[in-house]
Amino acid sequence: MKAIRVHKPGGPEVLSYEDVPEPEPNPNEALVEIKAIGLNFIDTYHRTGLYKAAPPFTPGVEAAGTVSAVGSDVSEVEVGDPVAYALSLGTYAERAAVPAWQLVKLPPDVDFKTGAAIMVQGMTAHYLTRSSYPLAPGRTALVHAAAGGVGLLLVQMAKMCGARVIGTVSTEEKAQLAGWAGADEVILYTEKDFESEVQRLTDGAGVEVVYDSVGQTTFEKSMNCLKPRGYLVLFGQASGPVAPFDPQILNAKGSLFLTRPSLGHYAASREELLERAGEVLKWVSSGDLKVRIDRTFPLSEASDSHRALEGRKTAGKVLLLP
């Protein structure tokens, strides 16, 4: 079968489209015939070596497809089930052997493309707004990269909680999309200083929470946007890793909280996974949550998809099709 392989860390050009041996499921695994693959910023961290994956490896952590075989101990799914999954490395391929506990059955009205678009970013937006810092009416959230894959879903889910949402984006076109998702105010952080804009929009009070996935270029000012005892939820580093810092700064800026969460810890058991993914899929089915697929690439053109994502050219979800 065909798959993308990474033999050494590097730029998009190290994503090599190759023939690889067929995967064989272990007793607790299912074989998935992959129909659509979700692209995530995390894939670029694996590719560059920022997140560790031992080469040679097949990147990708999100896909949807049909179960085509099951190991002897598998009870969670059956052959023929349409499924989607997150956080099992090796989805940039035509088939993958996946731990069965990670597979979520797709409802009949959710197709493979939508399923592959929603697992990582949907569950991430869910745990950020429900668990890392639970939003509620009367609270204001600042969401960076609000027109990104996670961003558009995060804005919608924050609004579902009744919160006020201020988004940041790099272009006017992305500002329109953040507004479409429900953001109350949008700041072009490439043109205006987002810290002073947030102070202006909140009459100097600041916000209860900043969801920051940009990292290096936003981290310090994100802290300055918070009310005393506010929460900085640093969940990514699209602009680069944040430098080590002195925790005393959290005291000086108002007894702030800092957390650096990861989806793996918020979908850690089958029960939690089914609960979180189930709620997200229910909202997709009912139309309460809109999924914007920005563009698709053939799997063989994975390098171009990474260039688009890292070049800030995308808004919403990008898919690879095997």
Binding site for ligand NDP (CB under 6 A): 40-42, 120-121, 124, 145, 147-151, 169-170, 174, 213-214, 217, 235-239, 261-263, 309-310, 312, 314
For 286, the 3-state DSSP assignment is helix
Contacts (Cβ under 8 Å, ≥6 apart) of 29: 70, 71, 74, 97, 98, 99, 100
155/226 with CB nearer ligand NDP: 155
95/211 with CB nearer ligand NDP: 211
Distance from C-alpha of 231 to C-alpha of 255, rounded to nearest angstrom = 10
Question: Residue 42 CB, nearest distance to ligand NDP (Å)?
Answer: 5
Least Cα distance to 121 among 84, 94, 95, 96 occurs for: 84
101/266 with CB nearer ligand NDP: 266
What is the sign of the dihedral through the CA atoms of 303, 309, 315 and 318?
positive
Reported residue count of the chain is 322
51/228 with CB nearer ligand NDP: 51
Question: Residue 236 CB, nearest distance to ligand NDP (Å)?
Answer: 2
Strands 62-70 and 293-298: unpaired
58/218 with CB nearer ligand NDP: 218
Question: Residue 71 CB, nearest distance to ligand NDP (Å)?
Answer: 28
What secondary structure does DSSP assign to 67-124, as a single string? EEEE-TT--S--TT-EEEEES-S--SBSEEEEEGGG-EEPPTTS-HHHHHHHHHHHHH
Question: Residue 296 CB, nearest distance to ligand NDP (Å)?
Answer: 15
110/152 with CB nearer ligand NDP: 152
31/302 with CB nearer ligand NDP: 302
Question: Residue 129 CB, nearest distance to ligand NDP (Å)?
Answer: 13
Least Cα distance to 194 among 172, 213, 222 occurs for: 222
Question: Residue 190 CB, nearest distance to ligand NDP (Å)?
Answer: 7
Question: Residue 24 CB, nearest distance to ligand NDP (Å)?
Answer: 29
